[in-house]
Structure 1
Amino acid sequence: MELTPVTVLVTFAGVFLICFMKGAFGGGFAIIGIPLLSLVMDPITAGGLLAPLFIAMDLFGLRYWKPSTWSRPDLQLLLPGLISGIGIGYLVFRLLDHRAVAIVMAVITLVFVGLWFRSGGEIRVQPRSSRKALAAGLTSGITTMVAHSGGPPLAIYLLPLGLSKQLYAGTTSLFFTVGNLLKALPWLLLAKPTGNVLSLAAICLLAVPSGVWLGWRLHERLEQRQMYRACYALLVVTAVKLLWDGIGGYIA
């Protein structure tokens, strides 16, 4: 990959957008910024580039998503599944067809959002479920490893709980902090980034502070209902991107 001005600018913009989503919603919507990266590099290279950057974003995000914003009961239920899911996701990436995983996740997400809109688009609080949490953590671990798209499964579990916007974002942030730390080494082994990719990652580190801060500022301005509606809208965008990648992979 040549380190041209266009490559640097496009990659920087994509990373900045991912940082912004991290600050605004706690993470989980990295796939929103990945289309920009796909203009200048292949998915494997993008994964190797993002692996260390995700950790930098997460660590900087902890300035805003402090322990008081974490829902510990939900994290205790979710994290075991996440850890297992990342291990399974690594095997899926190496051995199975990850395009099919993307399509299935997209369909499930669209059904979930469709049912929410059909019910009137209101927050209806549901009780915690250890089985749902395990399934959400496991699925999120697989999809974040395969396609950097672990947000939908986690959101499908967390949104119906009716958490405050701070608890929702903080819990999401810590969940993906753990996930990104765990998947960094597998992705680096898969992508083996060297030379220009590492230099580009170092340049993009400059996008982290401002991107996360601006996202957090947006979060502060959003009302509870606006926050939830934005999350559901982003789930639709994510699902469409997953469908595009999955189906396009079979057509290409």
Structure 2
Amino acid sequence: MGDGLEQTVAFWLAAGAATFAVGMSKGGLPMMAMLGVPILSVFIPPAAAAGLLLPMYILADVYAIWLFRHEFSVRNVSILVPASALGIVAAFLLVSRVPVEATKLVVALIGLGYLGTALHKRLAGDVRSRPADVPRGLFWGAMTGFTSYISHAGGPPFQAYTLPQKMPKMAFAGTAAVTFACVNWMKLPPYILAGQVTWESLRQIAVLAPVALIGAWAGYRVTKWLPERLFFTLVNIALGALCLKLLAEVAQAWWPAG
């Protein structure tokens, strides 16, 4: 009995921490997004953890859109959202044929490739920004929707497209908030069909909803407080950490210990 109670308390503490991290990521700190599923995966399977958190993402998305309603790039959103929809449709049709690990590997290589290119340009003194052009936006937007649907890792393709534009930090955070809000809403119906979002998970979400909203508010306040240079340094560090985490998951799946 005691062990069961301890496990229940531990689960809810972990769920609260994961939900708060999700909320903070929606408030403008994408470096927090990678914490949600790993925290919950200690207690439940990763797919179930992703399904539990998706409605939390959506709830926090609604609040984030309100927070950033005056601080996002309309042009980027108008390019990325339709492209992401195409990527989600492709992922839905191909999900049974595309190994999750292969997708994670591609995402990790995209992120590390961007970081390598950015470092090379910095060392060469190239500080020019790239505009939000349609051809690149359609490609990276489709990759964002595809990888977000299959492996919940749409951040690296999104950042590979938006970071070179050198937007102000609040515009960057707002563009991410609005874009991924649309992506998550589009992912919800197939997740329900796949059984990853259930009535039980929705009941749990009702309890955790205030934590997600508080996290989003806290993330927004921290984003506004962080100096511009430090904010983007943390974004790049988080991108690198996520890519290394994905590579570790691929290695563990393809070359298990023993």
TM-score under structure 1 normalisation? 0.91
**How big is each residue's C-alpha offset from its partner over 1:6-42, in whole Å with a ceiling of 9 and x where there is no partner?**
11111211111121122133x5863332210111111
Q: Of the candidates 29, 48, 52, which is equivalent to residue 51 of structure 2? A: 48
Residue of structure 2 aligned with 1:57, choices 50, 57, 60: 60
Give 1:175's aligned residue.
Answer: 179
Task: Return the alpha-carbon distance in structure 1 between the equivalents of residues 35 and 93 of structure 2.
Answer: 24
Q: Could you tell me which residue of structure 2 aligns to residue 137 of structure 1?
A: 141
- Which residue of structure 1 aligns with residue 253 of structure 2? 249
Are the aligned partners of 2:192 and 2:198 in contact in 1 as well (CA < 8 Å)?
A: no
Q: Which runs of 4+ in 1 moved over 4 A?
A: none
In structure 2, relative to structure 1, the CA distance for the partners of 1:224 and 1:192 (3 Å cut) is closer
Post-superposition offset of 1:72? 1.2
CA–CA distance in structure 2, aligned partners of residues 64 and 106 of structure 1: 30
Is contact 1:18–1:33 with CA below 8 Å preserved after alignment? yes
Distance in 1, Cα, partners of 2:206 & 2:96: 28
| Structure 2 contact 110–160 (Cα < 8 Å) conserved | no
Q: TM-score, normalised by structure 2?
A: 0.89
**How many Å apart are 1:192 and its aligned residue?**
4.3
Q: Name the residue aligned to 2:231.
A: 227
Residue 250 of structure 2 aligns with an amino acid whose one-letter code is: G
Q: Do the aligned partners of 2:20 and 2:215 also contact (CA within 8 Å) in 1?
A: yes
The alignment-based identity, stated in percent, is: 27
Range moving further from structure 2, 209-218 or 118-127: 118-127
Q: Is 2:95 aligned against 1:93?
A: yes
Q: Aligned in 2, Cα 1:159/1:78: closer, same or farther, shift over 3 Å?
A: same
Contact preservation (8 Å) 1:28, 1:149: no
Q: Deviations over 1:104-147 (max 9, x none)?
A: 11012112112212333785312232111011100000111112
CA drift of 1:219 comes to 0.5
1:23 aligns with 2:27: yes
* Alpha carbons 1:23, 1:61 under 8 Å: kept: yes
Deviates more, 1:197-206 or 1:127-136: 197-206
Deviation string, structure 1 residues 190-230 (Cα, Å, up to 9, x no partner):
13444643332222212112101111111011122122111
- Give 3-state SS (helix, strand or coil) of 2:167's partner: coil
The answer to whether the 8 A contact 1:86-1:145 is kept is: yes
Q: Is the 8 A contact 1:126 1:160 kept in 2?
A: yes
**1:83 is matched with which residue?**
85
SS at match of 2:66: coil
The aligned amino acid for 1:108 is: I
Pairing 1:158–2:162 present: yes
Structure 2 partner of 1:189: 193
Question: Do 1:28 and 1:176's aligned partners in 2 also have CA atoms closer than 8 Å?
Answer: no
Amino acid at match of 1:91: L
* Larger of the two Rg values belongs to structure: 2
Query: Deviations 1:172-198 (Å, cap 9, x if unpaired)?
Result: 111011101100111122134446433
Contact 1:28 1:151 in 2 (8 A): no
Tell me the C-alpha RMSD between the 2 structures: 2.0
Q: Which residue of 1 aligns with 2:111?
A: 109
8 Å Cα contact 2:26-2:216 kept in structure 1: yes
Q: How many residues align?
A: 249
**Structure 2, unaligned runs of 5 or more:** none
| Kept in 2: contact 1:28–1:150 (CA 8 A) | no
C-alpha separation between the residues in 2 aligned to 1:104 and 1:189? 26
- Cα distance in structure 2, aligned partners of 1:123 and 1:173: 26
Of residues 74-83 and 131-140 in structure 1, the stretch that sits farther from structure 2 once superposed is: 74-83
